[in-house]
Chain A
């Protein structure tokens, strides 16, 4: 089973090697930003620390929103208040995640861009962002209309849990970028 998954992932990476991404990645390695990132030993680890801290902020905030909607934590405030307190941090966190991620890609463009797991992660991230946008819009409107006694529908609760699961898969993919056969 594992061999089969590795084979498929390797097959995709092999195909990525035939696209413009390979030349593009090589071009990035010669930019001054890429050279800056690799010339100091600590630049990549520091970018990763920023990346992880931002994930902690975004994921922790999302967790608190989803727990509040499911009435598992944070019930001392309304859903509206919890969403207003935490959801912006998902976006601030995401901004820092993207910026630090771009630096990490710039440092090692071939390892990242010619890598099937990297693109699986990017698709998962895009799907997560789109679902989060819809989730935010619908929860904010419903919670505001429902007032202090608002209780989320089972669909909203499940969407929240789905977002948590998607983030966990994004983290899984993030770590496997470094280990998948390429």
Chain B
């Protein structure tokens, strides 16, 4: 099959032999997408558990530091797999994704969720010894928890919205 000459970097990625082979394969896109789903529910599931602890709504018997080390490793394993599979999905339709507002919103929200996590770990978490075993957490921790829940829920929504709007914007 012939593909048009790329006019920008996204088309160059999409029409690379790698991008084309994912897009043309009968099994590659669905299989990578399935792995993406398995990874993202691991990310979202473990994050919800940590966020509920930060909000003081569940697992209050478990110290915040213990809950963090119990969940964070799995959150990262899931995130790395989701990021790799997500990149592969992106490569196969790069220029279509780059004009999709839900994709762009999703990327922005992931940056925001990352920033929320960075602020929590490097600022709020400094005083964790004072509230580690408490069910009542400082406002900063609660705020991090509620923002994280909200960001990830909307990220999942955007992810689904991309699948329903891919043909609309190009």
- Whether both chains belong to one complex is answered with yes
Give the tally of cross-chain contacts (CB within 8 A).
95
Q: Known interface pairs A63-B42, A64-B70, A171-B37. Does A45 touch B164 (Cβ–Cβ under 8 Å)?
A: yes
Q: Which of A45, A59, A77, A81 contacts B45 (CB 8 A)?
A: A59
Q: Do B48 and A57 have beta carbons less than 8 Å apart?
A: yes
Closest beta carbon of chain B to A54's beta carbon, Å? 9
Interface positions, chain B 154-170, Cβ under 8 Å from A, are 156-157, 160-161, 163-164
Closest beta carbon of chain B to A143's beta carbon, Å? 16
Closest beta carbon of chain A to B114's beta carbon, Å? 18
Interface of B is mostly: helix
Closest beta carbon of chain B to A174's beta carbon, Å? 7
Interface positions, chain B 6-54, Cβ under 8 Å from A, are 26-27, 29-30, 33-34, 37-38, 40-46, 48-49
Inter-chain pairs besides A73-B73, A175-B34, 4 sampled, C-beta below 8 Å: A49-B157, A77-B61, A171-B38, A176-B34
Chain A residues with CB under 8 Å of chain B are 2, 6, 41, 44-46, 48-49, 52-53, 55-61, 63-64, 67, 73-74, 76-77, 81, 85, 168, 171-172, 174-176, 178-179
Chain B residues with CB under 8 Å of chain A are 26-27, 29-30, 33-34, 37-38, 40-46, 48-49, 58-59, 61-63, 66, 69-71, 73-74, 153, 156-157, 160-161, 163-164
